[in-house]
A and B are shown apart, each in its own frame.
Chain A
Amino acid sequence: QKEVEQDPGPLSVPEGAIVSLNCTYSNSAFQYFMWYRQYSRKGPELLMYTYSSGNKEDGRFTAQVDKSSKYISLFIRDSQPSDSATYLCAIPPGGTASKLTFGTGTRLQVTL
């Protein structure tokens, strides 16, 4: 079983839709959770950084963590064509480890 699983998509939604992107993880010791957005031919850009269960909101983006289910989500409200990108969840193992465990990324296309 992979440490982090993510549906690769692609996911196509009309402009204005609510988008739900999800990852599951296997290690209950994970404590911090990140979402990155990667545009084509660009490096990943940190979108959200959360700790513990619950919701964190930043503009149109909401990150949700459910530690009991080992499930994390990123919601995008009022999606725009400029949101079209690949979204990667990433989890640091914790402690002194530096390695980020990435999901494979979900490719999102927001259409007009």
Chain B
Amino acid sequence: DAMVIQNPRYQVTQFGKPVTLSCSQTLNHNVMYWYQQKSSQAPKLLFHYYDKDFNNEADTPDNFQSRRPNTSFCFLDIRSPGLGDAAMYLCATSRDNGQPQHFGDGTRLSIL
């Protein structure tokens, strides 16, 4: 029973063409996170929401945006994907700050 669901699992887009990745959760957790993970690297936090409060990491490019319309859903928008944005994008949730995070299975993004 998946509790953090990411769609799609695989996404192919063209260089410069906007793309949106989605995440939903059934855990009713307050915090939702987006990570970027490249091959053989640790997940890198892009931003997170505590409820409706958005927290951007200092080194997250402006090209990456996020929306959280309600508790259950969170979206990652990449406005103009470049070749360097090809990666696995992971969504995670936690009950509160500093609590264990529960991950979805990710969306693997390819850029043509």
Q: Using a Cβ cutoff of 8 Å, how many contacts connect chains A and B?
A: 60
On chain A, the number of residues with a Cβ less than 8 Å from chain B's Cβ atoms is 27
Interface digits, B47-65 against A, CB 8 Å rule (1 contact, 0 not)? 0101000010100000000
Does A61 make an interface contact (CB < 8 A)? Answer: no
Closest residue to B4 on the A side, CB-wise? A43
Chain A 58-112 interface residues, beta-carbon cutoff 8 Å to B: 88, 90, 92-100, 102-105, 107
- Do B40 and A44 have beta carbons less than 8 Å apart? no
- Interface size grouping (class) on chain B: 20 to 34
Find out whether the CB atom of B103 lies under 8 angstroms from the CB atom of A98: no
Report whether B43 and A44 are in contact in the complex, using a CB–CB cutoff of 8 Å.
yes
Does B71 sit within 8 A of A, measured CB to CB?
A: no
Interface residue ranges, A against B (CB under 8 Å): 8, 32, 34, 36, 41-46, 49, 88, 90, 92-100, 102-105, 107
Given contacts A41-B108, A90-B101, 11 further A-B contacts (CB under 8 A): A8-B40, A41-B105, A43-B6, A43-B104, A45-B103, A46-B101, A88-B42, A98-B33, A98-B98, A99-B48, A100-B45
State the B residues within 8 Å of A (CB): 4, 6, 31, 33, 40-43, 45, 48, 50, 55, 57, 90, 92, 94, 97-106, 108
